[in-house]
Amino acid sequence: MALDNAANFCYGQVTVAPSPAASGTTMEVTLLGGPTLPAAPWNAVVWITGVGPLQSNAEIVRVTGFTQLGAVVTVSAMTRAQESTSARTIVVGDQFQLGPTAKLIADINALGSGDVVGPAGATGGNFALFDGNTGKLIEDGGTPGSAAFADTGDFDPAGSAAAAQAASQPLDADLTSLAGGTIGASLTFAANVALLFNAALSDQQYCGFATAGTAGATLAFGELCYLQPSDSRWEKVDADAAATSGDVKIGMCVLAAAADGDPTRMLEIGYIRADSLFPTFTISAPVYAGVTPGEVQVAQPSGTDDVIRIMGHGKTADVLWFNPSNDWMTHV
C-alpha cells in the first residue's frame, strides 16, 4: 500500500468555489507563502474563515487531480465528504490546508503491522526463511544440508523454484528437509555420493524402497506377501506352493491392513525389523520364504514341492536385509 504524498505549510484560501457549492468537485485555491503541493492523491481540510477547523465547520476532501501555477491551484477532481465528514457549502474565502489526517496516520500504522522481524545477527551465505505463515518473522535457515536448514521445517522443496532448478543438478546434500514431501523431478547423484539406508532399526521399523497397494487379506507389519495376478492385491506368501511364492512379485508388508481391500504398503528392498514375526537371523546368512503363510524362515524349505526362494540375508540377529531373489526352485 502506497502512502499519500505530503508537504509542509500547504495552507491557503478558496478563490473559486465548487459549483454546486455543496457537491461540486472542482475549485480554485490560492496558497499563502508559495509552497508547492505534492502529487495527488491526498486529503485536505476545507473549513470556514476566521476560526479553526471543527467537526461542525469543516469538510475533508480527497484531491485526485490538480494543476498549480505559482500560488494558484486549480483542483480538477476531488471526492467530497471524506473520513466521516459531511459535505458543506464551500464558499470563496474558506480556508484550505493539506496536512496529516486520520487516514494518513491509519495508513502508516497499517504499514507497521507488516514489519518483518529477524534475528539480531546473521551468517553470511545462509538462507533467510520465513518462520510460520504470517510473513513477518525471518529466521536463519542455515545452508542446504545443515542441521539448522533441516530443523526450520519451513523450507518447501516441492514448491520452490530452487528445488526445481536443483532437480537437474548433482545431489550433494542429505534429504532431511524433504521429509514428508514429494520430489517432482529426477535427481542426479554426484560421484562418491550414496543413498544410505539406516539399518539401526527398532521393532516395527523399516528403511528402503516401498510401493503402495491394496491388501487381499488381513496383513500385519513384517508379513511376507506376493502380488496376486488375478486382482493385483497383496496376499500372504506360502512356500508350500509355487503359485504363492515362486514366479510372483514379492513384497514385505510395512503398512498393516485390517481387511481385504484396505490400503497397504510393501517394502520392495531395504532393511526391516519385526520381532514378533521374524526368527533369529544369522548375520549374512540367507533367509527363505516360509511354509507358514506370511512368514520367513532361516532353514531352507525341505518338504515335497516346497519352493526354495531367498528373501534376503540377516543384517543383525533381528534385522533383515530384504532383497527377494528372482531365482527359485522346487524341492523334490
Residue predicted with more confidence, 122 or 164: 122
Rounded distance between C-alpha atoms, residue 169 and residue 321, angstroms: 31
122 in a domain, yes or no?
A: no
At residue 170 the predicted structure's pLDDT band, cuts being 50, 70 and 90, is: very low
Residue predicted with more confidence, 209 or 197: 209
Q: Judge whether residue 200 has pLDDT over 90.
A: no
Give the residue from 137, 171, 189 where a domain finishes.
189
The per-residue pLDDT for range 129-138, each reduced to its tens digit, is 776 666 667 7
Query: Which parts of 201-282 are beta strand (E)?
Result: 205-214, 224-228, 233-236, 250-255, 263-273
Rounded distance between C-alpha atoms, residue 135 and residue 138, angstroms: 8
Same domain, 261 and 170: no
Give the residue from 110, 143, 165 where a domain finishes.
110
Is beta strand 188-189 parallel, antiparallel or unpaired with respect to 170-171?
A: parallel
Q: Judge whether residue 1 has pLDDT over 80.
A: no
At residue 120 the predicted structure's pLDDT band, cuts being 50, 70 and 90, is: confident
Mean pLDDT of the chain: 87
The helix/strand/coil state of 165 is helix
164 in a domain, yes or no?
A: yes
Q: What is the pLDDT of residue 328?
A: 96
Q: What is the pLDDT of residue 126?
A: 78
Number of domains within the chain? 3
Instruction: Enumerate the β-bridge partners of residue 269.
Output: 209
Q: Judge whether residue 25 has pLDDT over 90.
A: yes
Residue with cell 502512502: 3
Same domain, 215 and 257: yes
Same domain, 176 and 271: no
217-227 in b/e form (b: 16+ CB < 10 A) is: bebebbbbbbb
Same domain, 34 and 154: no
Q: Which of 57-71, 137-151, 194-208 has the lowest mean pLDDT?
A: 137-151
The per-residue pLDDT for range 238-287, each reduced to its tens digit, is 999 999 999 999 999 999 999 999 999 999 999 999 999 999 999 999 99
Q: Judge whether residue 206 has pLDDT over 50.
A: yes
Q: Judge whether residue 181 has pLDDT over 90.
A: no
Rounded distance between C-alpha atoms, residue 237 and residue 235, angstroms: 6
Same domain, 179 and 209: no
Q: Judge whether residue 103 has pLDDT over 70.
A: yes
For 296, what's the count of Cα atoms within 13 Å in the CB-facing half-sphere? 38
144 in a domain, yes or no?
A: yes
Interior angle at CA 288, CA 284 and CA 289, nearest 5:
150
% residues pLDDT > 90 (the chain): 67
Q: Judge whether residue 54 has pLDDT over 60.
A: yes
120 in a domain, yes or no?
A: no
CA distances 10 to 5, 35, 52, 72, Å, are: 12, 6, 16, 12
Residue with cell 518462520: 131
Q: Judge whether residue 163 has pLDDT over 50.
A: no
Same domain, 209 and 166: no
3 in a domain, yes or no?
A: no
2 in a domain, yes or no?
A: no
Same domain, 40 and 134: no
117 in a domain, yes or no?
A: no
Q: What is the pLDDT of residue 60?
A: 97
The single-letter DSSP state of residue 250 is E
Same domain, 254 and 166: no
Same domain, 179 and 202: no
Q: Which residue stretches of 88-217 are H helix?
A: 102-112, 147-151, 161-166
Could you tell me the residue range of the domain that residue 239 belongs to? 197-332
Same domain, 181 and 223: no
User: Please, which residues have CB within 8 angstroms of residue 274's CB and are 6 or more apart in sequence?
Assistant: 203, 204, 221, 222
78 in a domain, yes or no?
A: yes
Q: What is the pLDDT of residue 147?
A: 56
Q: What is the pLDDT of residue 118?
A: 72
Mean pLDDT of 154-166: 47
Same domain, 211 and 273: yes
Give the residue from 54, 81, 110 where a domain finishes.
110
% residues pLDDT > 70 (the chain): 84
- Cell reading at 217: 487379506
Rounded distance between C-alpha atoms, residue 93 and residue 67, angstroms: 20
Q: Do you know the residue count of the chain? A: 332
Q: Which of 59-68, 141-150, 161-170, 302-311 has the lowest mean pLDDT?
A: 161-170
Same domain, 155 and 246: no
For 116, what's the count of Cα atoms within 13 Å in the CB-facing half-sphere? 10
The per-residue pLDDT for range 283-308, each reduced to its tens digit, is 999 999 999 999 999 999 999 999 99
Mean pLDDT of 94-101: 93
